[in-house]
Amino acid sequence: MHEMANSIPGPSSCRPSDGDDGHPGRRLRAVLLDALGTLLTFEPPAPYLRAALRERLGLDVSEAAATAAIRAEIAYYRAHLHEGRDVASLADLRRRSAEAMRPALGTDADTGVLTGALLAALRFRAYPDAPPALRELRARGLRLVVVSNWDVSLHERLAETGLTGLVDGAVASAELGHAKPDRAIFEHALALAGAAPEEALHAGDSPDADVRGALAAGLRAVLVARDGAAAAPAGVPVVRSLAELPGLCQYP
């Protein structure tokens, strides 16, 4: 829920064509972006988990066991990510998420060691098309805000992947207490961007949380379908790469 003190150009010169939102020719001033699956991805964690367990515990687990452990951790985390709202609650969430791996791993290792192994296995990176797309959007004078269903560590992930300096703000659902598709998280992001709903576009990979959530909040929407599999509601553009996003500056 941070606004980043970056100096940006003035309002975008990109003017959308007449649309159905009742604001013909309303200038686009901001682009909101989802994080995971849109800007960020992560390396397959099971091999890193196996390596971390060998290094820290001398424990050699099979690829199948590591994969099952990661699957259990992801399921637990997704159900509880809203609880990681600050440093203390995030640390507790990470411990509990690591504990979710224990049955699959069959170990009585200390929770702290398991947590360390889990964190070592999670290696995020920006998609190669993200930095250049963000630079191009900002060169057009657009304000950029990341809007993600994530715990408070979203800001750390953006920093470690080199994206912090390329956006003007970020809001994690856990720190706000509202998750996409709730309109409240979009409204908060719009406040950070200094834009009205009809002056903003949101891009994300979830047809429900991102696309339908943005549309319900009065924004335009773009579906990011990197694998080409997801389907968008009628009239919503679909891109397979963020390199296509600046070209949609004209999208009503």
Sheet arrangement for strand 200-204: 2-3, 169-172, 143-148, 30-33, 200-204, 220-224, 238-239
Cβ proximity of 213 and 231 under 8 Å: no
Judge residue 16's burial from the number of C-beta atoms within 10 Å of its C-beta, 0-12 exposed, 13-18 middle, 19 or more buried: buried
The residue with tokens 């009628």 is 234
Q: What is the mean pLDDT of residues 181-205?
A: 97
Give the model's confidence band at 27: pLDDT under 50 very low, under 70 low, under 90 confident, else very high: confident
Distances from the Cα of 3 to the Cα of 43, 176, 190, 196, 246, angstroms? 28, 13, 11, 17, 22
**Is pLDDT of 90 > 80?**
yes
* Whole-Å CA distances, 118 to 89, 101, 227: 17, 9, 27
Q: Percentages helix, strand, coil for the chain, rounded to the nearest 5?
A: 45, 15, 40
pLDDT of residue 131: 98
Mean pLDDT value of segment 210-223:
97
pLDDT, residue 190, reads: 98
Model pLDDT, residue 250: 61
Per residue in 42-87, pLDDT (tens digit) is 999 999 999 999 999 999 999 999 999 999 999 999 999 999 999 9
Cβ proximity of 170 and 158 under 8 Å: yes
Q: For residue 11, name the pLDDT band (cuts at 50, 70, 90).
A: very low
Average pLDDT rounded to a whole number, residues 162-177: 97
pLDDT at 59: 95
Distance of alpha carbon 250 from alpha carbon 238, whole angstroms: 14
> Given this model, what pLDDT does residue 60 score?
96
Spatial distance between the Cα atoms of 139 and 161, rounded to a whole number of angstroms = 20
Residue 55: its H or E element: helix 45-57
Cα separation, 33 vs 246, in Å, equals: 13
Measured distance CA(183)–CA(213) in Å, rounded: 7
pLDDT more than 70, % of the chain: 88
- pLDDT, average across residues 22-27: 55
Query: Does pLDDT of 23 surpass 70?
Result: no
DSSP-based three-state secondary structure for 143? strand
C-alpha closest to that of 7 among 158, 165, 196: 165
Q: In the chain, pLDDT over 90 holds for what percent of residues? A: 84
